[in-house]
A = this chain, B = another copy of it.
Amino acid sequence: MTLQKATNITWHHGAIAKADRERLLNQRGVVIWFTGISGSGKSTLAHAVEEELFERGHLSFVLDGDNIRHGLNKNLGFSPEDREENIRRIGEVANLFAQAGLIAMTAFISPYRADRDNARSLLQKGDFIEVFVKVPLGVAEERDPKGLYKKARAGEIKEFTGISAPYEEPLNPELVIDTSELDLAQSAAKVLNYLQDQGIIDKE
């Protein structure tokens, strides 16, 4: 629970509303929240979706460790409190992008249900799409693209999700994508089809 510390502030809406921006961009502003263990392929999938959306003339933006950990959240570490604050900020920023009309995608392990549900609660129903990027732990550990599992097994990284820290699987995600069964193109197509079916983007 994050307290509202600031007072002396009032809320009013800008003249240009989310619906105006959506008309301009010919898409709905939403958050696609990719969650899954390290090595599941979240970021790769998000960027593949971004590329396909761009080819179709849509504006999206991926928030992932690359642009968040070095910037907005560079003053956060990996303690439980910092992890929670990390996800909280990402949820808030993703929501701002969605309000701006973009298809915002986040690619973070985000292991806790409560943190993901908080992010969901910021948006209107239907505007938050949780995508569980599912993969057996053994497959992720085999991939180990950054050598992190090896370090975690050696005890060099503490509280590593899946090894020494829990991953709470989504109970009712909008999509489940098993990247050990689907290749990247198939996985991206599944997301794109969902966006079409929900009227977030037009059918091709």
Bound-state CA distance A93–B15 (Å) is 21
Please tell me if A57 contacts chain B, counting CB pairs below 8 Å: yes
Query: A8 and B76 in contact (CB under 8 A), knowing A47-B15, A50-B14, A71-B96?
Result: no
Identify A66's interface contact among B12, B77, B157, CB under 8 A. Answer: B12
Q: Is the CB of B8 within 8 A of A77?
A: no
A96/B74 contact (C-beta < 8 A), A16-B50, A20-B54, A47-B14 known: no
When distances are taken between beta carbons in the complex, the residues of chain B under 8 Å from A10 are: 66, 146
| A192 CB-CB contact with B under 8 Å | no
A67 lies within 8 A of B9 (CB): no
Inter-chain CA distance A76–B66, complex, in Å, is 25
User: Is A148 engaged at the interface, CB distance under 8 Å to the other chain?
Assistant: yes
Given contacts A15-B50, A100-B97, contact A59 B9 (CB under 8 A): no
Q: How far is the CA of A98 from the CA of B4 in the complex (A)?
A: 28
- As for how many copies of this chain the complex holds, the number is 2
Q: When the two chains form their complex, are residues A51 and B16 in contact, meaning their CB atoms are under 8 A apart?
A: yes
Is A102 an interface residue, CB under 8 A from the partner? yes
Given A16-B51, A100-B59, A66:B2 Cβ within 8 A: no
Q: A100–B8 Cα gap in the complex (Å)?
A: 31
User: Which residue of B63, B75, B82, B157 is within 8 Å of A8 (Cβ)?
Assistant: B157
- Would you call A203 an interface residue if the criterion is a C-beta within 8 Å of the partner chain's C-beta atoms? no
Q: With CB as the reference atom, state the residue of chain B lying closest to A146.
A: B10
